[in-house]
Amino acid sequence: MKSFTALALGLSTLISQSSGHYIFQKLTYGGTLYPVYQYIRPNTNNNSPVTDLASNDLRCNVGGGTGTGTKTISVKAGDAFSINADIAVYHQGPVSLYMAKVPSGSTAAAFDGSGKVWFKIQDIGPTFDASGNAAWQLSQTYTSKFPAGLPSGDYLLRTQQLAIHNPWPAGIPQFYISCTQVTVTNGGAGTPGPLVSIPGAFSSSDPGYTVNIYNNFKNYTVPGPTVWNGK
């Protein structure tokens, strides 16, 4: 699967950490940029991160346990989409996209994301040049595709940026999270996986969580499961 399209590389150098954080709050699909929180669940902690690895808030952010006041958008498997933040991501760290199939008898709006249901469809970490210097793709907009093999049905689409600019254990990595509600049509016959529970998919001992990006940083593994191959 193609990497996210990072549309605003380098903006991190223009934004100081004192300007606040960021939150993924808009969806672009079919050429339309939809209003804030039309299809993405709103949260109650504004643009603050989640830091507790044992918290259910890791699923869809604080106050995002359900989305009864949020619309669900119909999409086609294989189509492109973009997730848009209020400002460009500027903390170093990977961005990942997860999905969770809604259980039979429920809806995307009602589902809280509990259980071993989450699978990863995209990761973007740093690239390293010949000298071993890392570059992060920091952007306000990330573009990906719904896998063509994704079976039809209701899903939660979870966007996550893990900020690791304050190395553990002196600092605590920060999760910036939003969940989009989608109904997939024209789906395929794939079997998404590996499936994980959230919380539970991340550990304080994960190398991608504990890494110090300022000291001998020459490689990186994004925390969480491997990306689904779409089959």
163 to 22, 49, 167, 198: CA distances (angstroms) = 11, 9, 9, 18
Cβ atoms 100, 120 nearer than 8 A: no
Residue 218 located in a structural domain: no
How far apart are alpha carbons 99 and 113 in whole angstroms?
Answer: 9
Band the pLDDT of 39: cuts 50, 70, 90: very high
Model confidence, pTM: 0.91
How far apart are alpha carbons 37 and 43 in whole angstroms?
Answer: 9
CB within 8 Å of 103: residues ≥ 6 apart: 111, 115, 117
Residue 220 located in a structural domain: no
Range of the domain at 75: 5-210
Q: Is the dihedral of CA 211, 214, 220, 223 positive or negative?
A: positive
pLDDT of residue 12: 37
Render pLDDT for 71-101 as a digit per residue (tens, 0 to 9).
999 999 999 999 999 999 999 999 999 999 9
Residue 93 located in a structural domain: yes
Paired strand residues for 136: none
Residue 34 located in a structural domain: yes
CATH code for the domain of 142: 2.70.50.70
Instruction: Give the count of alpha carbons within 13 A of 158, CB side only.
Output: 30
Which has the higher per-residue pLDDT, 231 or 151? Answer: 151
Give strand ranges (E) for 30-152.
32-33, 73-76, 80-85, 95-101, 118-124, 127-128, 134-135, 141-145
Residue 231 located in a structural domain: no
Cβ atoms 64, 38 nearer than 8 A: no
pLDDT at 15 over 70: no
Name the domain count of the chain: 1
Band the pLDDT of 7: cuts 50, 70, 90: very low
Residue 224 located in a structural domain: no
| Rounded mean pLDDT, 106-126 | 98
